Structure 1
Amino acid sequence: MSSFDSLIVDVNDVFWTYLLIPLVVVAGLYFTIRSKAVQLRLFPEMLRVLKDPAPAGRDGRKAVSSFGAFTISAAARVGTGNIAGVATAITLGGAGAVFWMWAMALVGAASAFVESVLAQLYKVRGADGEFRGGPAYYMRKGLGKPWLGALFAVVITVTFGFVFNAVQSNTITAVAGGSLGAADSDWFAPVCGLVVAGLLGLVVFGGVRRIASVTQLLVPVMAVCYLLLGIAVVVLNVEDVPRVLADIVGGAFGVREVAGGAVGAAIQHGIRRGMFSNEAGLGSAPNAAATADVTHPVKQGLVQSLGVFFDTLLICSMTAFIILTTNPELSGRQGADLTQTALTTTLGGWAGHALTAIVFMLCFSTLIGNYYYGESNIRFMTRRAWILPSYRVLVLVTVVLGALGSVSVVWNLADVFMGVMALVNLLSILPLSAVALRLLDDYLAQRADGLDPVFTNDRLPGLPGTSECWDREGAREDARV
């Protein structure tokens, strides 16, 4: 099994290093230039539209708001990778990896804008009145390639719905077992898996609105708790902040490096970790973006760009400063253990237990977001009534099984699946980006007229395969700001 695992790692490294990373960077730069850096110049607008209230749905219940869709995507984005993954990137690539994570977020936010605008434009309304959409939908309706959408739907469902959720369940069990001193107990893993699966079942069997309501509570709480811990560490080590900033910049460009390969390691691990963390361009977050009931597709594009900044520039950066202000030698520990050690070194043993609680919230919120990505694509593939409940049950079984053993092979295999998913998505949004940019022009023209922008299909005739959700009879009245 170890040789098979090594083969997967080797294939994965070649695939990401020589094909996917260059494609993600080039696509992000292309979207940034074509949109005139929409992710930077419209940052105040991102904050404005995030506060848009959700209207009542057709059944009288509250629809999913911009913020609700933001938290669904953030629930999947913000996970153990923000704690363990950043620590690993710093261990392998040095402090300079953090700089390239930041650069990846600034460029990748343009990709997140394009894919999320397209997800909104091509979304559909289900029989339950809820919106759904994502890459599979804009591949079918925008590109006219339903077979490509079906391929993407299968890959994302397997990757997020099953494999990644097994990993998250395993992480919860390992961290909780270590914190409670029950890691070696035979009973703990199955009990923990059953408890997590039971909690997840209470959420996912309630539909996307319950998912949004839970993530709207869970995501802010876990983010605030983690940021408070991080701020406490930074304040207590404030004299080290200038040195940390100098190490980050110096390590990124080799100013302080002796070996030339150190710069390449910083770039590779920083960019790769940035992509895994914020998911910009990978095709996962658009599934959440499509759930929002907004008046214009561009609104959710802006909100999802903000999600990239929230994930990388805020949460990942806090992890980096926790580690680099307390353990600059990066010796002895790796992954989440390195972050936990950095916290306990400064704040004491209680901080390690606090991090365990935060990791639980991170993993559980990721379980919810990952599950929904699979649900959205299950609905794309089939309308048979028994399929979705069966999928939900299988996800819960996967969560229990994931708690029971090592998942190193499936994690590495999931990297390959995720890479294929990203490749298909990027090759799809490149030709469709012209549609997203036309929508951006329409949005800015309405804002210049003092309007809260409202889109209907007749505003931009000739767009390929537009959704009936944007027909004029379904649109709301224009509103003056």
Structure 2
Amino acid sequence: MLDLLNELLWGKILLVLLVAVGVGFTIASRFVQFRYFGRMFRILGASQAFRRDKHGHLSSFQALVLSVAGRVGGGNIAGVAVAITLGGPGAIFWMWLVGLMGMATSFLECTLAQTYKQAEAGGTYRGGPAYYIVKGLGRRWGWLAGFYSVLLLITFGFAFTALQSYAVATSFGDAFGVPVLYSGIALAILVGLIIFGGIKRIARISEVLVPFMAVGYLLVALIVVGMNIDKLPGVIALIVNSAFGLEPAVGGGIGAAIMMGLKRGLFSNEAGLGSAPNVAAVAYVPHPANQGIVQAFSVFIDTLIICSATAFLILLSGAYVPGSGENVAGIALTQAALADHVGEWGRSFVSVALLLFAFSTILYNYYLGENSLNFFSRDNRKLFNAFRVAIVLLVCWGATTDLGTVFGFADVTMGLLAVANLVALILLFKPGLRILRDFDDQIRQGIDQPIFDASRHPELDLDPRAWELAPEDLERLQARAPGQPANARD
């Protein structure tokens, strides 16, 4: 039954919906992910992006690393290996395509999450698909928001948390001989120390951990590519040819390549799932499109950079033989590939990288679960603390349990999660384009840092407290249009 549902969701329904949203919004937005690619760096380079708690809120950079912490996980190491093993090298091409189109999808969902966010105590915010469904589509769609929140809790809060813990413990056991129980206990203690500090502590840990782990992994990948630079053109040709069935030695065919590229690409970068908007909404930004642009960049980091790094590590090695039925799969293939390049220490390096990637993802998964609970019972401290205890126990249990059935179940719930969110995004195309036009118009007027004046969009029914502008942004807005109404942060 799980296999049948997976085939229906991933092979038919999601293929149509992902293409409809990704390609549709790319065209409707006039290729926003490419038009504003350079601005991604400018937004992050702006002084405001790195300010911490000046007005009690999280920065755009902290929201970015939180989302990268979630996107960059086991899928970037083990998932890419699975895609290559089952779909051939051509799966990487379709993964790239999913990533490029996913940048537009991520822009739309994260811009909407910022637009419809709600203010919380302490200068933070809550938002995500459940919030923009109810606020953007109306209360009659509350059932869809509730359905989405339940799926988010089951998929990320529980299933993926256990799966990440299992991946870390088994990898460490293979590489260093550490019993999975000990790994599980140690991981559970670390997770508990962080998540009981709330979103701000998670953000502070992530902004240190995520750049360190991503840069370290990419540095090793660049060294490997440099060592095999003469083989790189042939590997790229293999990827492209296999994507269109032009490599007879590669099994799986075009269908398998497309399905694995789609499935693993979405699993890795999460564009369209609606998971990243939950953390994209926590930051203060002067305009919702700012966060949409930044979150589109996080998809690029995940799929076009880190997933590609793993693919090149594997395909440039002798550990993978195209068309052979004897290739090892999953994390073992990535470990064997790096060991083939740099020696046996490569296996240990992959295990440590997986530990860091999975650890950051567990923190991210916890927050998604908390946010889904908040939708049903707003700011319930007792409920949140009970959930935190459950996550700590789940991390320990997941490390010691074979989760094959859980993985199949999580694939189904993730597919349903994506369907619910993508349907909502299609229905919210117009508000998303309206916010983008507001941003575009200010850019055309020569305004380098557009500011969103919520008072000019009463039809969106936004939370006015969530769009109280910081003093410096309010000052710029008033200097630009004296006398016009604007919300102000104290």
1:129 aligns with 2:123: yes
Match of 2:111 among 101, 109, 117: 117
Compute the displacement of 1:343 (Å): 0.4
1:126–1:88 distance in 2 versus 1, CA, 3 Å: same
Residue 211 of structure 1 and its aligned partner are, at CA, apart by 0.9
Structure 2 equivalent of residue 329 of structure 1: 321
Contact 1:457/1:472, CA 8 A, preserved across alignment: no
| Cross-structure match for 2:278 | 287
The Cα shift of 1:471 comes to: 5.2
Q: Mean Cα displacement is larger for which, 61-70 or 357-366?
A: 61-70
Query: Which residue of the partner structure matches residue 311 of structure 1?
Result: 302
Structure 1 residue 233: deviation in Å?
Answer: 1.4
1:374 aligns with 369
Equivalent positions of 1:98-109 (< 5 A) are: 98-109=92-103
Which of 344, 350, 371 aligns to 2:339? It is 344
More divergent stretch after superposition (256-265 vs 78-87): 256-265
Residue-by-residue CA offset, 1:19-67 (whole Å, 9 max, x unaligned): 112211121111111101101111011111123425878x866521111
Aligned partner of 1:199: which letter? L
| Map of 1:26 onto structure 2 | 20
**Would you say the 8 A contact 2:83–2:91 is kept in 1?**
yes
Q: CA deviation at 1:70?
A: 0.8
Q: Is the 8 A contact 1:161 1:370 kept in 2?
A: yes
User: Which of the numbers 48, 73, 77 marks the counterpart of 1:83?
Assistant: 77
Secondary structure of 1:386's aligned partner: helix
Amino acid at match of 1:193: G
Q: Deviations over 1:400-449 (max 9, x none)?
A: 11011101111111111111111111111111121111111111221233
- 1:477–1:376 Cα change, 3 Å: farther
**Alignment gaps of 5+ in structure 2:** 481-490
Aligned-residue offset at 1:147: 2.6
1:459 shift after superposition: 2.8
More displaced 10-residue stretch of structure 1: 321-330 or 271-280: 321-330
Task: Indicate the RMSD between aligned Cα atoms, in angstroms.
Answer: 2.1
1:466: Cα distance to partner?
Answer: 5.4
Q: Secondary structure at the match of 1:426?
A: helix
Residue pair 2:135, 2:462 contacting (<8 A) in 1 also: yes
CA displacement, residues 65-112 of structure 1 (integer Å, 9 cap, x when unaligned): 111101111111111111111111111111111111111111111111
* Alignment check: 8 A CA contact 2:76 2:268 kept: yes
State how far apart, in whole Å, the 1-side matches of 2:413 and 2:257 are: 24
CA distance, structure 1, for counterparts of residue 98 and residue 275 of structure 2: 17
What are the residue-to-residue correspondences of 1:55-454 with 2, within 5 Å? 62-144=56-138, 145-182=141-178, 188-257=179-248, 262-327=253-318, 328-330=320-322, 331-383=326-378, 384-451=380-447, 452-454=449-451
* Residues 259/200 of structure 1: CA separation in 2 closer, same or farther (3 Å cut): closer
1:185 aligns with none
Deviation of the 1:464 alpha carbon: 4.5
Q: CA deviation at 1:254?
A: 2.1
* Contact kept in structure 1, 2:161 and 2:395, CA below 8 Å: yes
Tell me if structure 1 keeps the 8 A contact 2:86–2:252.
no
Name the CA distance, whole Å, in 1 between partners of 2:175 and 2:245: 39
Most deviating of 451-460 and 108-117: 451-460
Q: Distance in 1 between matches of 2:412 and 2:10?
A: 9
Q: Deviations over 1:282-307 (max 9, x none)?
A: 11000010011100000000011001
Change (3 A) 1:60 1:303: closer
Q: Distance in 1 between matches of 2:213 and 2:469?
A: 40
- Helix, strand or coil for the counterpart of 1:30? helix
1:459 pairs, out of 442, 456, 459, with: 456
Deviation at 1:473, TM superposition (A): 9.0
Deviates more, 1:470-479 or 1:82-91: 470-479
From 440, 452, 476, the counterpart of 1:478: 476
Alpha-carbon distance in structure 2 between the residues aligned to 1:412 and 1:378: 24
Map Cα deviations across residues 229-251 of structure 1 (whole Å, 9 max, x no partner).
Answer: 11121111111111101101111
Question: How far apart are residue 115 of structure 1 and its match?
Answer: 0.4
- By how many angstroms is 1:467 displaced? 5.0
What amino acid maps onto 1:476 in structure 2?
Answer: L
Partner Cα distance (2:232, 2:251) in 1: 26
Work out the percentage of aligned pairs sharing the same amino acid: 43
Moved more, 462-471 or 433-442: 462-471
Q: Mean alpha-carbon deviation: is it higher for 252-261 or for 34-43?
A: 252-261
> In the alignment, which residue of structure 2 is the partner of 1:3?
none
- The secondary structure found in structure 1 opposite 2:111 is helix
**Deviation of residue 129 (structure 1)?**
2.5
Could you say if the C-alpha distance between residues 334 and 387 of structure 1 is closer, same or farther in structure 2, counting changes exceeding 3 Å? Answer: same
TM-score normalised per structure 2: 0.91
* SS class of match (1:221): helix
Q: Bigger shift: 349-358 or 251-260?
A: 251-260
Q: Is the 8 A contact 1:295 1:476 kept in 2?
A: no
| Partners of 1:128 and 1:197 in 2: CA distance | 27
Q: Count residues in correspondence.
A: 469
* Cα pair distance change 1:260/1:340, threshold 3 Å: closer
CA–CA distance in 1 between the matches of 2:454 and 2:272? 25
Tell me the SS of whatever aligns to 1:295.
coil
